[in-house]
Structure 1
Amino acid sequence: MQFNYVKSLISEAITVLCTAPGDVRSRLLLASNELISLRDNHFPPNLLIHWIEIKEMLTKYGPVIDEDQSVQVGAIKNTLQRIKNRTGTVIAKKLFDLHNDLQNYRD
């Protein structure tokens, strides 16, 4: 029961990832909107490492910051604009695997 929140948001992200138009990178960007409120403590301890890996892959290049220290492009969008489509596919697969693991997880 305690992980229903994360299960729900990851499931919504997978739905967007599977049904939104565009290439995998643009779909990941849309799906990331469902994930933005998730924190590490929302995940079961044994699945946390998978979540951290996905987060790191989605934010690899960090945000674009101007000379006024204002964020011009967020880390996820900047990363997804710079990676290859096949890397986006790897991230999508990891997110899908996490989704499956969460659905099979019993509190």
Structure 2
Amino acid sequence: MEISYLREKLSLAKYELAIGAGDVRERLYDAFLAMHTLREADFPEQYRKDWRWIKKQLTRYEPIKDYEGKVFIGSVQNTLRRIK
């Protein structure tokens, strides 16, 4: 992956966190949407541990599924709705 793509996605996520619309949960979700296509392998080695930590924090809780087993609320949304 091009480093410019990585920088673009992270810059957009930073923008959403800093001055995006909504409360902190909405801004975190928008930041996640800006960078959810990134993979650990896209990062330089020294930043991969940080990326794993970010993803782990955003997906602490499992998705909520409906009676058919289909995801009703994703793990990121389920995690963010629990923060205060």
Would you call these one fold, judging by a TM-score over 0.5?
yes
The corresponding residue for 1:66 is 66
Q: Secondary structure at the match of 1:82?
A: coil
User: Which structure's relative contact order is higher, taking Cα pairs within 8 Å and 6+ residues apart?
Assistant: 1
TM-score by length of 1: 0.72
Matches within 5 A, 1:4-15: 4-15=4-15
Q: Secondary structure at the match of 1:72?
A: strand
How many equivalent residue pairs? 84
Instruction: Report the RMSD for the aligned CA atoms in angstroms.
Output: 1.5
The answer to whether the 8 Å contact 1:3/1:44 transfers is: no
Unmatched runs of 5 consecutive residues or more in structure 1: 85-107
- The structure whose residues are more often helix, as a share, is 1
Which segments of structure 1 move beyond 4 Å, counting only runs of 4 or more? Answer: none
Q: Per-residue displacement from partner, 1:68-97 (whole Å, max 9, x unpaired)?
A: 11000111111000122xxxxxxxxxxxxx
Distance 1:2 1:45 in 2: 15
Q: Secondary structure at the match of 2:60?
A: coil
